[in-house]
Structure 1
Amino acid sequence: MQVRRLAAWAALPLTVALGLSACGTGGDSGSTNPDGVVSIGIAEPQHLLPGNTNETSGSQVLAALYSPLVDFDEANKPYEVAAESITTTDNKTWTVKLKDGTFHNGEPVNADSYLNSWNYAAYGPNKQDNGFFFERVEGYKDLNPSDANATPSAKTLSGLKKVDDKTFTITLSEPFSEFKALLGYTAFYPLPKAAFEDPAASPLVLKKDFEQAPIGNGPFKMKGAWQHDSKIEVERFADFKGAAPKIGGVTFPIYQNSQAEYADLQANNLDVVKTIPTEALSTVQGDLGDRFQQSPASTFQFLAFPTFDPRFSKPEVRKAISQAIDREEIVNAVFQGSQKAAYSFVSPVVAGYRDKSCGAACDFKPAEAKAAYAAAGGPKSLNISYNADGGHKQWVDATCNQLKANLGVECVGTPEAKFADLLQNVEDKKDVGMFRMGWVMDYPSMENYLNPLYSTNGSSNYYGYSNAEFDNLVKQGSAAATSDEAIKKYQQAEDLLARDMPVLPLRFGQNNFGHSTKVKNVSMDLFNRVDLNKIEVVS
């Protein structure tokens, strides 16, 4: 399991304006160079394959290489991009008709391109991190037996059917009214025949070197191969059928730490930094002037409890720790007001968000917290594990200082070199104490903040939280006929989180980004991606 859409660097702060589009910058003055190349800093991606890419650096690259079936408008509603239409009469069987499209190697984009890509991702033995995105499709369980060592009874999803070269149907095991939005996620990109050893084989076998130079259907194609820990380069694809970008290509330099990345931006050696380091927030206005920008994002930062650890098994202990944290003080002192304190479990950018749905459990009440903590037998020492490569030390230390002062306990931050290492320790049930987590939505829905993170079998439920009533409410919401009906069920499920507190909401982020003097019209979307259709190079 992997926490999807996780940013490697520090938390991303968020403007709470539902439906706002990402802010642009740079103005319209001055001539531009349509063949210019921009540079955008990223961390080393884990993968560059649709079925296996679930973090923000890899997703940024794939957003250049692939055109999605749907994207989202300013109200966060999905609209067709590579799809001509996506229709349903019952929210269970969906029909997708495709626009004309071409892969970078000249292959036509057709129904098989999607069916092959999705069947490969969903087939359990392929161990694709995004495979679970197909769990709603009929036949998924046949491809993913409960015994991971067992051979699946099927090799393809029974719910996927080709109608003709440009049309296919998707039958879900249960109705899901928001399925169209789900189709905008990375996992649902197509793959060409050239990706596979034998495109007629079943099950499909991916060519070992394919993701070193992925072949997509998007506005840019790979220029050479992925240069690990160095850079990835893409160039404009002349035969792209959609809206043409206003630049000739993108270089994605790969950075190991955010300070070095920011230094290159200040020196005008890098065009875009997607996340300004926490340490630079106090000086960034002076450093960059109006080249420092903010826009809405979907980031949710929180502290998770290993509920399977006896020290944190009582909700009373978890609530007391929550009430001992002054979220506003940390937002102002550490993040210079560039984030918003979180008192809810879902982001303000999704429909159904309610301010302070966490209730009293998220109120700062140090005296009450100390008494409740002692009464519940809370541990005398605490630690907060975090990934050292993400710029989290300052706020973790500040949080520990508050817990020391307000609960009378010892508290230390415990850095892990990489986030993957931290998650592995959690999965192995090692003593990590509390641990920091971050979430960037896959698609704009309350369901995407609830189901993966807190359902008993949620793909990113690392804390062992299990509540049958919660699971049932989320399931009812997913099957609801309308969005309004779904939201009512999701809100009831969120109320249970406020009661049980498996995690502590800390902050909602926004995109804090900066750019060089060499580019303009820089904007970022809710998924922490630079909009490559808008950015321009100044002549």
Structure 2
Amino acid sequence: MKHKKITLTGVALLAAGALALTGCSTSSNEKPDAEKGSSNVDASAIIKVNGSEPQNPLIPTNTNETGGGKILDAIFAGLIGYAADGAVFNEVAEDIKVDDPQNITVKLRKGLKFTNGEEVTADNFIKAWNYGALASNEQLSSYFFEDIEGFSYEEDSELTGLKQVDEHTFTIKLNKPASDFAQRLGYSAYYPLPDVAFEDMEAFGQNPIGNGPYMLDGEGAWQHDVGINLVTNPDYDGPSKPANGGLNIVFYASQDSAYADLLGDQLDVLDAVPDSAFGSYEADLGDRAVNQPAAIFQSFTIPERLEHFSGEEGNLRRQAISMAINRKEITDVIFQGTRTPASDFTSPVIDGWTDELKGAEVLDYNEKKAKELWAEADKISPWSGTFQIAYNADGGHQAWVDATTNSIKNTLGIDASGAPYPTFAELRGKVTDRTIETAFRTGWQADYPGLYNFLGPLYATNAGSNDGDYSSKEFDKLLSDGISETDPAAANKLYQEAQEVLLKDLPVVPLWYSNVVGGYGKTVENVKFGWNSVPIFSEIEKTKAE
């Protein structure tokens, strides 16, 4: 018997709060139907895909980057999941009832297990969320529990808003209305953890035990800086049951190496074609080439703690640097139609996006104005040194960083260059511990399909992904008012006003919106890339060898 699917507003255009404001319960645990490929499928075949070394041990509440997130999303299952088009479906949840904008009741499906045989219960969610929220645990995703009653940044405090009703039911009480909270519950910060995790969390992170469609392929499955091998979880009972035998996620040193493997039939799916192949990949791959919009925003951050970038001087220099970048030329020449110059801090595929924000002219290339602003800053304190943008060399960023810094150099007449780090993990380590001494590349791949997700986690005071330590009472107030608003249109208006504050302060310098530009091999079928650019791994099929 078919159950009603949870659908918000269609292809990645998801109104924040659409789920939370229905006032009714959700009751489907069926994923939207996938189109199946040929019958000549090897259900045991391993799918080889690209990835990157996670920054940290694989603990859901301490992973906020794409390398680790891609793995966690394969080995864990949350209360809800997101289909390729952004539609929401129940995963571990049997029913999520939004009683009002501050109270939610969650009922779990019975009989679900972690891969060590432990049953998934309400307590597994409550304990995991409390661990993630505890101040002394210093988890990167603690911000995602901020709206739950009892949360504190300053001291260890129990999330008193989480109450177990019975073994498979718990309630969530928020400390303020958060109209899209139910929509967030598929993000990795909200995954459950088995009891064994709390015996030694660091050791658990090296060999995580999940409840999702895949699991680690035994001891030694994760070879650091090389790759990680996953196999299907035989006990998984959910809507994302794999059509393959597992995943071999390879941590490539460069995107060029990954693309060469794809062309040589040594890689099945690639989600990031290198810029060196933008002019040829569609001819190389034919109908196996992928170029589609995704909820990805790219930027770079200039920490306020750097010399010349605090106070009024810093504000002037950020504006000058932003207006010294010829985004259209860079996206045309370097990215060849796979990027679009940014006009805000979110993504055009998310409901509420607009290109008519006040102050957005700071994102336009304006050589004359950039020089004037730089000269004003020099009157406060004469410029000295070199302006650099740090990036990870294993991610295919050199070309755009060089083009961006050259644009800044030529416009402002200063020394500017890229500062490469060998790996993403090394770069993120410097960013996270605040020891990086230059500007650095940043960006956002949405956690869930809502406008707030591009703003709160990155720019709210104390937010876990607020890499520049930005803080604005005006911005925080507009953000808080927006998330408390029960009318999605009114909420989006407040988010737009909040972005106008960001355009004045430029906590990051917006660059462009990214398409997912990828491709897949000749022997795989039913390859789909989701609204957030990640392939839907469980649906990929591989044909039998002849």
Task: Tell me the TM-score normalized by structure 1.
Answer: 0.86
Structure 1 CA distance, aligned partners of 2:232 and 2:179? 36
Per the alignment, residue 133 of structure 1 pairs with 144
Unaligned runs of 5+ in 1: 1-16, 147-151, 198-204
Per the alignment, residue 182 of structure 2 pairs with 180
Determine which structure has greater relative contact order: mean sequence separation of CA pairs < 8 Å that are 6+ residues apart, divided by chain length: 1
Which AA in structure 2 matches 1:285?
Answer: E
Inter-CA distance 70–235: structure 2 relative to 1 (3 Å threshold): same
Say if 2:113 is the partner of 1:102.
yes
Which of 476, 479, 488 is the matching residue for 1:483?
488
Say if 2:47 is the partner of 1:42.
no
1:340-379 CA-to-partner distances (Å, cap 9, x unmatched) read: 1111111112211102535211122212322332233273
The Cα of 1:67 is off from its aligned counterpart by 1.7
Which of 382, 388, 393 is the matching residue for 1:388?
393
- Asked if the contact 2:142–2:464 (Cα under 8 Å) also holds between the matched residues in 1, the reply is no
Per the alignment, residue 353 of structure 2 pairs with 353
- Asked if the contact 2:34–2:539 (Cα under 8 Å) also holds between the matched residues in 1, the reply is no
Which of 200, 204, 210 is the matching residue for 1:216?
210
**Matched ranges for 1:309-320 at <5 A:** 309-313=306-310, 314=313, 315-320=315-320
Which of 50, 66, 81 is the matching residue for 1:71?
81
Inter-CA distance 461–536: structure 2 relative to 1 (3 Å threshold): same
Say if 2:516 is the partner of 1:511.
yes
Per the alignment, residue 365 of structure 1 pairs with 366
Say if 2:457 is the partner of 1:459.
no
The Cα of 1:480 is off from its aligned counterpart by 1.5
Q: Secondary structure at the match of 1:511?
A: strand
1:385-433 CA-to-partner distances (Å, cap 9, x unmatched) read: 2233322111111112222222222222222334454455556766734
Per the alignment, residue 242 of structure 1 pairs with 238
The Cα of 1:512 is off from its aligned counterpart by 1.1
Q: Secondary structure at the match of 2:348?
A: coil
Identity of paired residues, percent? 39
Which of 443, 448, 452 is the matching residue for 1:443?
448
Q: Secondary structure at the match of 1:400?
A: helix
Q: Secondary structure at the match of 2:443?
A: strand
Structure 2 CA distance, aligned partners of 1:118 and 1:463? 25
RMSD, aligned α-carbons: 2.6
Per the alignment, residue 8 of structure 2 pairs with none
1:449-491 CA-to-partner distances (Å, cap 9, x unmatched) read: 1122222323222324332111111111111123222212111
**Matched ranges for 1:140-219 at <5 A:** 140-141=151-152, 144-145=153-154, 152=156, 154=157, 156-197=158-199, 206=201, 208-219=202-213
Which AA in structure 2 matches 1:64?
Answer: A
Q: Secondary structure at the match of 1:311?
A: coil
Task: Tell me the TM-score normalized by structure 2.
Answer: 0.85
Per the alignment, residue 149 of structure 1 pairs with none
- Asked if the contact 1:96–1:169 (Cα under 8 Å) also holds between the matched residues in 2, the reply is yes
Per the alignment, residue 13 of structure 1 pairs with none
Which AA in structure 1 matches 2:351?
Answer: A
1:184-225 CA-to-partner distances (Å, cap 9, x unmatched) read: 10011112233333xxxxxxx53x532333222212222213
Structure 2 CA distance, aligned partners of 1:186 and 1:162? 21
Which AA in structure 2 matches 1:399?
Answer: T
Which AA in structure 2 matches 1:400?
Answer: T
Structure 1 CA distance, aligned partners of 2:89 and 2:228? 29
Q: Matched residue pairs, number?
A: 503
Q: Secondary structure at the match of 1:132?
A: helix
Q: Once structures 1 and 2 are overlaid, which stretch shifts more, 183-192 or 430-439?
A: 430-439
Q: Once structures 1 and 2 are overlaid, which stretch shifts more, 68-77 or 321-330?
A: 68-77
- Asked if the contact 2:327–2:341 (Cα under 8 Å) also holds between the matched residues in 1, the reply is yes
Q: Once structures 1 and 2 are overlaid, which stretch shifts more, 377-386 or 355-364?
A: 377-386
Structure 2 CA distance, aligned partners of 1:80 and 1:30? 28
